[in-house]
Amino acid sequence: MAEPRDAQFRFAMSEDGMKLGVSRYSPPQGGEGPSVALLKRQVAKAGVGLPVDEEAAREIISAIQRDEEIRRVVLVRGIEVQEPSHASLVALGNLEYPVFPGDRFARKHPPQHARDGETIDGRIIHPKKHFEPEDIEVTLGDNVGFDPLTNSYVSRAWGMARLKETTISVDPVTHISEDSVLIKATLHHRDFRGQPVTAARLEKELRDLGVVIDIDVARLEALLKQAQSLGRPLTDQTVVMGKLPAPGHDGWLEPLVSTRELAGTEDEAGRLNFRDRGTYPHVEPGQAIARLHHPTSGKGGIDIYGKTIPASSGRDLTVRRGENVEVLLDEITFTSTAKGVMVMEGTTLSVTDCLIINDNVDLATGNVTLEHGSVKILGSIHAGFSVAAPKHIIVAGSVESATVHAGGNIEVTGGILMPDGGSVRAEGTISAAYATNARISAGGDVIITNDITNSEIRAEGRLIGTRGKGHVQGGNIVTGKGMEVNELGSELGVRTTVAVQIGHDGDETLRAERKKLKDSIGKINDILGHDPARVILARTKPEKRAAVAEILRHRIALIKQRKAVSEELTQNALARQEELAGIRIRVHRLIHPGVVIIFGNKSVAVSKRTEGSTISLDARAGEIVFS
């Protein structure tokens, strides 16, 4: 009879000698069954001096009992060789995303010294590197703590972890404004571990910051979804907003008359005209022109901590009464004591007959249009702008390609220069130092001290240019009462036309009436012909003669009216001819070739240099004479 035999284990070792496992198992033959103790004895008997992994041994015994695979379980492991390494800081996640309070986001690995390894069959393995490893001293920056149990670094804030050399810190992603009214933050859709950042997490962090006012959770959710869809963080996002205090309104003066539009006016197409600001308002005596409003108290705000933010009250406005202004007993209503233009200069309210513009007329002032009175401009009128006043306009500077119209006189201390268009028109007298490419029209005289160059001037009165150079060269000058200048034309022979033309207020009306009569007569002739009445009636059918006779009588009446109108025009022309004979053009120094002199329908061209002369129309001879 055979001896009883214990359960038998056969072992296999990996080629590198670092792993040992069970390769085959034989059940007992009347001897000891499989157990951890038996397995350990047989490992030792096989000459293995390294310890058996108790957990692996139990797993093998359990697998045998369940008749399962046992060859993949490592029962004994060799001792790995340890290469030396310096101490290091290691991130425990992707630090391009935020960490939150309590998160362990980095760990310090201590220095490791070199150590020999050993295979299961007893061979010694030496390290490949040999150096003395160095430790590092980690400096804790802002918002970071150290957990000695896990040798890890813990965040104390919602922010971005920074590992810079030997310093570790967390930069908050939130920023509280100085007035504590709002919090801004950079929002990420996930944290450093890859976990989603939710609105609930953010709300908790904001509450931990001390926020007590309502938080718009729905907005936070929308922003997080946006960050996820874009695949990038959203910077500078307002996550909590209190309420700013509303300061009180300063005291202000309400005009009770129409005012100019300081920003310009809008045309029908919706375009803003920065030049056109409307008219300066004019007022009547006794009219209420403005009302003073007292300052108001403000409305307090609230910060993120629920504290009230006091509001500042408005400032008082002191309005001083200028000329022609009174204040009523209510001490807030201002009235005018005279007719004029309402003007607010600084804190002084006035009603004046002459508006003062303290600088140029340009984009700062816009166009200047008055409904009453005069205007004095202490600067110049710039190109493209306009000035209009019912009375007088005084310009201390120049007029530069602008449009100027006065119901009275226009006085320009400088010159009138119009290379880019514009015009100067007055019902009275216009005076200036010089005129270049100017277009001037005056109901009275035009007085130019120095040069008049290539200008178009029409004056119902006289052109006077004797106080300075008084030199006219180029252009066309038309006056109603003659002119007196120092020099006409230039040595280069530039064409210069000076004319005396007397208009009659009714001439244009008479000419229009004569044309209308002529057209009516022409229509009748087109139908009936130009023959005498008896010839036309002779060829007309008897049944139509009465009607045709009536038309012919109407034609005769029209012809008589036309003759009377023509006679009146002729008489007006004769009267003007006599009036022209009494008008003089006086030139004190020189008249150059190229000058054309016109009196009414008579003209003469100057062909040679002529000394100063008095030029007039000889009515009897019907010619222009120089004397």
Q: Which domain holds residue 155?
A: 88-241
In a domain, 116, yes or no: yes
**HSE value, Cβ hemisphere, 13 Å, CA-based, for 483:** 30
User: Over 60: is that where the pLDDT of 266 sits?
Assistant: no
- What is residue 276's predicted lDDT score, i.e. its pLDDT? 67
The model's pLDDT over 142-167, given as tens digits with 9 standing for 90+, comes to 999 999 888 899 999 999 999 877 78
Regarding whether 259 and 225 lie in a shared domain, the answer is no
Of 112, 167, 156, 105, the residue nearest 135 (C-alpha): 112
Question: What rounded mean pLDDT belongs to the chain?
Answer: 89
Q: With bands split at pLDDT 50, 70 and 90, how would you rate the model's confidence at 574?
A: low
Dihedral of alpha carbons 44, 48, 51, 53, sign = negative
Phi, psi of 245, deg, nearest 5? -70, 145
The model's pLDDT over 115-130, given as tens digits with 9 standing for 90+, comes to 999 999 889 999 999 8
- What is residue 278's predicted lDDT score, i.e. its pLDDT? 65
Regarding whether 218 and 195 lie in a shared domain, the answer is yes
Residue 35, amino acid: S
In a domain, 470, yes or no: no
In a domain, 479, yes or no: no
Long-range contacts: 473-476, Cβ < 8 Å, 24+? 473/592
Q: Which residues contact 356 (CB under 8 A, 6 or more apart)?
A: 343, 345, 375, 376, 378
Phi, psi of 345, deg, nearest 5? -105, 105
Q: With bands split at pLDDT 50, 70 and 90, how would you rate the model's confidence at 79?
A: very high
Regarding whether 231 and 97 lie in a shared domain, the answer is yes
Q: Which residues contact 408 (CB under 8 A, 6 or more apart)?
A: 374, 389, 390, 391, 392, 393, 426, 427, 428
Answer with the one of 350, 375, 401 that is the final residue of a domain.
350
Regarding whether 267 and 133 lie in a shared domain, the answer is no
DSSP string, 40-84: HHHHHHTT--SPP-HHHHHHHHHHHHTT---TT-EEEEPBPPB--
Structure tokens at 87: 């101490």
The pTM of this model reads 0.52
Q: With bands split at pLDDT 50, 70 and 90, how would you rate the model's confidence at 260?
A: low
Antiparallel, parallel or unpaired: β 320-321 and 348-352: parallel
Q: What is the mean pLDDT of residues 320-342?
A: 91
User: Over 90: is that where the pLDDT of 453 sits?
Assistant: yes
Q: What is the mean pLDDT of residues 398-424?
A: 95
The model's pLDDT over 35-77, given as tens digits with 9 standing for 90+, comes to 999 999 999 998 898 999 999 999 999 999 998 888 889 999 9
Can you name the residues that pair with 153 across neighbouring β-strands?
A: 106, 146
Whether 157 and 146 have beta carbons less than 8 Å apart is answered as no
Regarding whether 25 and 95 lie in a shared domain, the answer is no
In a domain, 277, yes or no: yes
Q: With bands split at pLDDT 50, 70 and 90, how would you rate the model's confidence at 1?
A: very low
- What is residue 269's predicted lDDT score, i.e. its pLDDT? 62
Answer with the one of 77, 99, 123 that is the final residue of a domain.
77
Of 473, 499, 500, the residue nearest 593 (C-alpha): 473
In a domain, 361, yes or no: no
Q: Which residues contact 384 (CB under 8 A, 6 or more apart)?
A: 275, 401, 402, 420
Burial class (CB in 10 A: 0-12, 13-18, 19+), 76: buried
Regarding whether 174 and 235 lie in a shared domain, the answer is yes
Alpha-carbon gap, residue 248 to 241, rounded angstroms = 21
Regarding whether 44 and 132 lie in a shared domain, the answer is no
Whether 395 and 368 have beta carbons less than 8 Å apart is answered as no
Answer with the one of 350, 384, 409 that is the final residue of a domain.
350
Regarding whether 187 and 63 lie in a shared domain, the answer is no
Number of domains in the chain: 4
- What is residue 409's predicted lDDT score, i.e. its pLDDT? 94
Regarding whether 207 and 98 lie in a shared domain, the answer is yes
Burial class (CB in 10 A: 0-12, 13-18, 19+), 532: exposed
In a domain, 23, yes or no: yes
In three state form, how does the secondary structure of 139-164 look?
EECCCEEEECCCCEEEECCCEEEEEE
User: Over 80: is that where the pLDDT of 542 sits?
Assistant: yes
Regarding whether 224 and 92 lie in a shared domain, the answer is yes
Antiparallel, parallel or unpaired: β 368-369 and 354-357: unpaired
Regarding whether 279 and 227 lie in a shared domain, the answer is no
- What is residue 53's predicted lDDT score, i.e. its pLDDT? 94
Regarding whether 268 and 343 lie in a shared domain, the answer is yes
In a domain, 13, yes or no: yes
In a domain, 284, yes or no: yes
User: Over 50: is that where the pLDDT of 597 sits?
Assistant: yes
More confident: 326 or 567: 326
334: left (phi over 0), alpha (psi -120 to 50) or beta: beta
Alpha-carbon gap, residue 514 to 522, rounded angstroms = 12
